[in-house]
A and B are shown apart, each in its own frame.
Chain A
Amino acid sequence: MILQLVILIVKVILLISLLMLGFAYTTLFERRLLGFFQLRLGPNRVGPFGLMQPLADGLKMALKEDLMPALADKSVFRLAPVFSLFAALCVDAVIPFGAPIHLFGTAISLDIANPSIGLLIAFAFSSLGIYGIVLGGWASQNKYSLLGGIRASAQMISYELAMGLSVMGVLMLAHTASMEGIVLAQKAHGWFFVPEIIPFLIYYITAFAETNRTPFDLPEAESELVAGYHTEYSGFRFAMYYIAEYINMITVSGIAVTLFFGGWLGPSFLPPIIWFLLKVGVSMFVFVWVRATFPRFRYDKLMSFGWKYLVPAALVYFVATAAFVSGVL
């Protein structure tokens, strides 16, 4: 019992450090990659290949003055970024990072928890993250922030529906909502992106919207709303939003890999956790690539795209998968 508790605490600490490290190096990865796309070098001065850059950035953020608008709703203003970060971190608790390993005579699964409704918990927490953005936009008492917050709420609500529908097929094929169960099911039936390619695309598109990344970065749309919901944030509060955004990217990539690309599965010449991280890395690359290439949607077009195309398509494929699984087709 004590051993279980110790293992759990160690796992939590490891996961959070891993995510923080992942966040830090995702920013470097993104900046170097954008530099590559945009004919510039990107940060390469701090440490070899700029490897110490995230550390310098973090230090700078922590030392910045923490500004707050005089008219801001103080408690909500302080709480909102914490909320965002908390929700972003929690989702990763249910994602299995690798096959269970055997240590101290017990099998240790590489996730914090493996509830039978793992996927639903992941979605529930990622939905909570939106409150941080909406409340932050509202509490700032800034019109740009307000517009950003409104955009965020509308966007998230409409895209989460399509996202939820798109993964239903996987649940039916795997006969379980446990993340580990889904991976094991793919070991038996092959990776789910083959039968579920359209739901995968829908999931991936909505994942961009869910993380507020280009082309769905309307809540912060720097050319329109200056910085959207975090216009008034500075210092470490801003950093929390920033961290939440990047951890969300890692999370949605992790969920995509788990649901559609066999999670940690892969040829045995590399350990499972490396396979998982490699797959997530490819997904991160796509996130950056899209950011370097595409313009932004317009607010109303984004809504109609979500409701008129993504939701019906996901719904149709959901029904088709259901018919297939139940043997009607």
Chain B
Amino acid sequence: MAADKLESTQTEDPSQTMIINMGPQHPSTHGVLRVRLELDGERVVNAEPVIGYLHTGFEKTAENLTYQQCNTITDRLDYLAPMTNNLAYVLAVEKLLNLEVPKRAQYIRVLFAELTRVASHLVWLGTHVMDLGAMSLFFYTMREREVILDLIEDAAGVRMNPSYFRIGGIAYDLPEGFHEKVHAFVKDFPRWMKSYRHLFEGNPLINERLEGIATITQEQALGLSVTGPNLRATGLPLDLRKDEPYSSYDEFDFNVPVRSGADAYARFWVRVDEIYEAMKIIEQAIDKITPTGPYTSSNRKVSLPPREEIYGNMEALIHQFKLVTQGFVVPAGEVYQAVEGPRGEMGFYIVSDGGTKPYRWRARTPSFYNLQTMPLMCKGGLVADVITAIGSIDIMLGDVDK
């Protein structure tokens, strides 16, 4: 059955074309993507992404976890931008709970969401340029990403899957000296970025590999639910941070970079510009975050009580016991909440039946939709353009396969 389906997608006379399975083990398919390429010489007749090699059953797993526990799963969807996944999820549950989150916690969330956006874009920049054949930039961007991961480690205790956000706020308050570290990062970053730009800006070899390659028009992009930088590169300034502000994003001053080229070059520069805009938000956020203050909601039915309260207060002890052993009850209903992740609209659709675990937990992951553009982008191009296309839509296989 499956084999029949694969055969039927052969678009031309099979004796004239060659089929190559690029992936799932391939150096530049960013994980375990398999692209079924139909080639006429070096020309691509058809390119069909085959997914599922990283399927992990996250959505079903989540149905057996309490709401607070589900947060750890969101980290693992798009593991390069865990904080934005966290944010989308906690916002969704908070919407269902109708829970008010302190302003300070909202700013901290914005700070970390933007830090992960920068980190994610840095990884993209390094790997994308490495796919084009220039290998050194990767090491430089990874060095700077390391600084961001250190910041995340300082606050959350871990680097890769922090689960730092909690329903109601964040897990722990910021550590001492955190403000200074962020200020130092914000101060150093433009210098680093400038040195990277020497490697790719105006480089005719890079421009040649990107310009006019892997084009998706605005209509095609909208038709395939493409979001994020990939959509903004077609000239549509759709950004949920502006259009449907969440977590106090409306209090921040930033621009939404847009390009109209609709090709790999436009996507490249939208992301590079976004790094600068994210840095602007980080700078504002760290100024807004007061050194002390509430970092989680005061609603003891959702947020854990502080330690000192537990030792002296019976009710606090009961709350702590109930929250840790059972979790909290979320009123029956359904909710969809999306945030602007580094790769596009990252959303969660949650159905509650009034219990402590979600009845249905659905993740709307941007890479899954972005990947659908592969055949459109690759048809008529060369093998090298397939690599450019995969890199330019910045897919994340953990995000695609779930």
Contact = CB atoms under 8 A, between A and B. Distances in A.
Interface of A: 37-40, 143-144, 147, 150-151, 214-215, 217, 221-226, 291-301
A226 B384 CA distance: 12
B209 interface: yes
Contacts of A294: 133-134, 203, 205
Contacts of A297: 205, 208
Nearest to B19: A143
Interface of A is mostly: helix
Interface in B123-139: 129-136, 139
Contacts of A293: 134, 136, 199
27 contacts: A38-B136, A143-B18, A143-B20, A144-B20, A147-B42, A150-B41, A221-B384, A223-B27, A223-B28, A223-B130, A223-B131, A291-B135, A292-B135, A293-B134, A293-B136, A294-B134, A294-B205, A295-B129, A295-B133, A296-B133, A296-B134, A296-B205, A297-B205, A297-B208, A298-B384, A299-B383, A300-B42
Contact of A299 (B20, B129, B133, B384): B384
A295 B209 contact: yes
B60 interface: no
B28 A298 contact: no
A298 to B, nearest CB: 5
B383 A224 contact: yes
Given A298-B209, A298-B385, 17 more contacts: A38-B135, A38-B136, A147-B383, A215-B205, A217-B133, A221-B384, A222-B27, A223-B28, A223-B131, A293-B134, A293-B136, A294-B205, A295-B134, A296-B384, A298-B384, A300-B42, A300-B382
Given A293-B136, A295-B129, A224 B384 contact: yes
A224 B199 contact: no
A273 to B, nearest CB: 33
A307 to B, nearest CB: 16
Contacts of A214: 133
Most central of A224, A226, A292, A300 by chain B CB within 10 Å: A224
Contact of B140 (A39, A215, A223, A295): A39
- 3 A-B pairs closest in CB distance: A296-B133, A295-B134, A295-B132
Contacts of B131: 223
A289 to B, nearest CB: 10
A219 B41 CA distance: 14
B383 A39 contact: no
Contacts of A147: 42, 383
A151 B383 CA distance: 12
Interface of B is mostly: helix
A150 B20 CA distance: 15
A211 to B, nearest CB: 15
Interface residues of B, number: 30
Given A143-B20, A222-B27, A301 B134 contact: no
Contacts of B171: none
B26 interface: yes
Interface in B303-341: none
B139 A38 contact: yes
A295 B27 contact: no
Given A147-B42, A223-B387, A224-B387, A298 B129 contact: no
A215 B134 CA distance: 8
Nearest to B29: A223
B208 A298 contact: yes
A40 B199 contact: no
Interface string B202-213: 010110110000
B95 interface: no
A143 B41 CA distance: 11
Contact of B27 (A37, A151, A226, A301): A226
B55 interface: no
A278 to B, nearest CB: 26
A201 B22 CA distance: 37
A143 B386 CA distance: 16
B350 to A, nearest CB: 39
B143 interface: yes
B62 to A, nearest CB: 35
Nearest to B43: A300
Interface string B125-160: 000011111111001100100000000000000000
Contact of A40 (B18, B41, B139, B384): B139
